[in-house]
Amino acid sequence: MENLDDTDMRILELLAEDARRPFSAIGEEVGLSGPAVSDRVTRLREAGVIRRFTVDVDRSTLRGGVPVLIEATIGPGEAGSVRETLATTEAVEHVFTAADGTVTALARVPEGRVRDWVAERLGDATVESLDVTLVDDVRWTPSVGGGEFALECAECGNTVTAEGTSTRLGGEAYHFCCSSCEAKFTDRYERLEEGA
């Protein structure tokens, strides 16, 4: 897997601003032809850097409801199921999970039903703490700048350099810093698949 260069980063920034921007317009910004931009975007998708193109919908223009920020510290081992429940709930726009088991979600909840709605979504999960805050304004500003950007080895967590490798397992792209990490990961993956 090649390292991402400044042109790749700029392409990602432009797509984050507007995912429908034509490749020819991106090419004008980065000094490439439209087909060359298309090739780079394809490479970024195959590497798993770009997972999908999406739309940022202002839900307030589509339906009523109260915008709330829900922050719940969930008991050990239960954060994943709460996160999945929230992520698949239509009114939820964003879900974040912290390492300490805190699940944070931004949602538009039916007016007058906030308490019941939250309780239904959390279900039987052990809730250690819960804060529900009324949200006044939401701005989504995706950015790929402001920090170092590098692929991380799926096995050991080291940075993947030009000497690294990539492979697809189960339809997902995985990146490795070396062939040894790739072999370990692939072996473990295949053993888990056999046992499933």
Show the domain range for 122.
60-134
CATH number at residue 27: 1.10.10.10
Q: Is the confidence at residue 1, as pLDDT, over 50?
A: no
CATH number at residue 66: 3.30.70.920
Strand, helix or coil at 8? Answer: helix
Query: Is pLDDT larger for residue 146 or for residue 46?
Result: 46
Q: Do 101 and 128 have their domain in common?
A: yes
Of 49, 69, 84, the residue at which a domain comes to its end is 49
Residue 145 lies in a domain: no
Please report, rounded to a whole number, the percentage of residues in the chain having pLDDT higher than 70. 87
Q: Is the confidence at residue 163, as pLDDT, over 60?
A: yes
Residue 110 lies in a domain: yes
Residue 33 lies in a domain: yes
* Through-space distance between the first and last CA atoms of the chain, rounded to whole angstroms: 30
What mean pLDDT comes out for the span 184-189? 92
Instruction: Tell me the pLDDT of the chain averaged across its residues.
Output: 84
What mean pLDDT comes out for the span 106-133? 88
pLDDT digits (tens, 9 = 90+) for 74-84: 888 888 889 99
Residue 15 lies in a domain: yes
Q: What is the DSSP string of 116-181?
A: HHHHHHHTT--EEEEEEEE-S-------S-SS----B-TTT-PBP-TT-EEEEETTEEEEESSHHH
Q: Do 44 and 75 have their domain in common?
A: no
The count of structural domains within the chain is 3
Q: Is the confidence at residue 87, as pLDDT, over 70?
A: yes
Query: Is pLDDT larger for residue 171 or for residue 102?
Result: 102
Q: Is the confidence at residue 61, as pLDDT, over 60?
A: no
Q: What is the pTM of this model?
A: 0.51
What mean pLDDT comes out for the span 184-192? 91
Measured CA to CA, the distance from residue 49 to residue 42 in angstroms comes to: 10
Residue 43 lies in a domain: yes
CATH number at residue 191: 2.30.170
pLDDT of residue 95: 92
Residue 142 lies in a domain: no
Residue 6 lies in a domain: yes
Residue 141 lies in a domain: no
Q: Is the confidence at residue 72, as pLDDT, over 80?
A: yes
pLDDT of residue 24: 94
Q: Do 113 and 90 have their domain in common?
A: yes
pLDDT range class, residue 93, cuts 50, 70, 90: confident
